Amino acid sequence: MDTRSNILTIPGSTRFLEEVRAFIAGHALRAGLDEARVDRLKMAVDEACTNVIEHAYGGESEQRIEIAVIARPDRLMVRIRDTGKSFDQEAYNEPDLLQYAKRRKSGGLGVHIMRKLTDEVTYRSTRTYNECCLTTLLRRHHGGS
């Protein structure tokens, strides 16, 4: 496992998600997020990695996932990269949660959850990798605004 200071690379398996959560928590706490916001970010990253494992890699655990934490003065970004099947943003529709609950469906809420738990979710695909960025704004307490 590659663990440069702000980058963690894991095999595409859910058994490594606890390490991902610990990695994210450490960086988020150092960036000044409170416990509740750390938990929200950990859950969003967990969802993003699970989507990669299940959908991009189809459970093929020999594939790698790279998680990078990028700290800026006003935001904390988590960049997740994979080399699997890309996510079709155009085909994605926000779920109707009421209908979803009535039908007792399970799964399929990952993107919705990530959007609710972070301030911004972006996704792009290049010839060599897919990238999901989860951004949490840092709410610094200072006079004025």
Task: Give the domain ranges of the chain.
Answer: 7-137
Helix axes 17-30, 35-51, angle to 10 degrees: 140
Answer whether residue 99 shows pLDDT above 50.
Answer: yes
Give me the amino acid identity at 121. V
Digit-coded pLDDT (tens) for 35-79? 999 999 999 999 999 999 988 998 777 899 999 999 999 999 999
Q: Which of 16, 74, 70 is nearest to 46 (CA)?
A: 16
pTM over 0.95: no
Task: Quote the Cα angle for 64-80-14, to 5°.
Answer: 55
CA–CA separation, 80 and 54 (whole Å)? 14
Mean pLDDT computed over 110-129: 89
Q: Which amino acid is at 29?
A: L
Q: CB of 50 within 8 A of CB of 110?
A: yes
| Domain 7-137, CATH homologous superfamily name and number | Histidine kinase-like ATPase, C-terminal domain (3.30.565.10)
Tell me how crowded residue 9 is: count the other CB atoms within 10 A of its CB: 15
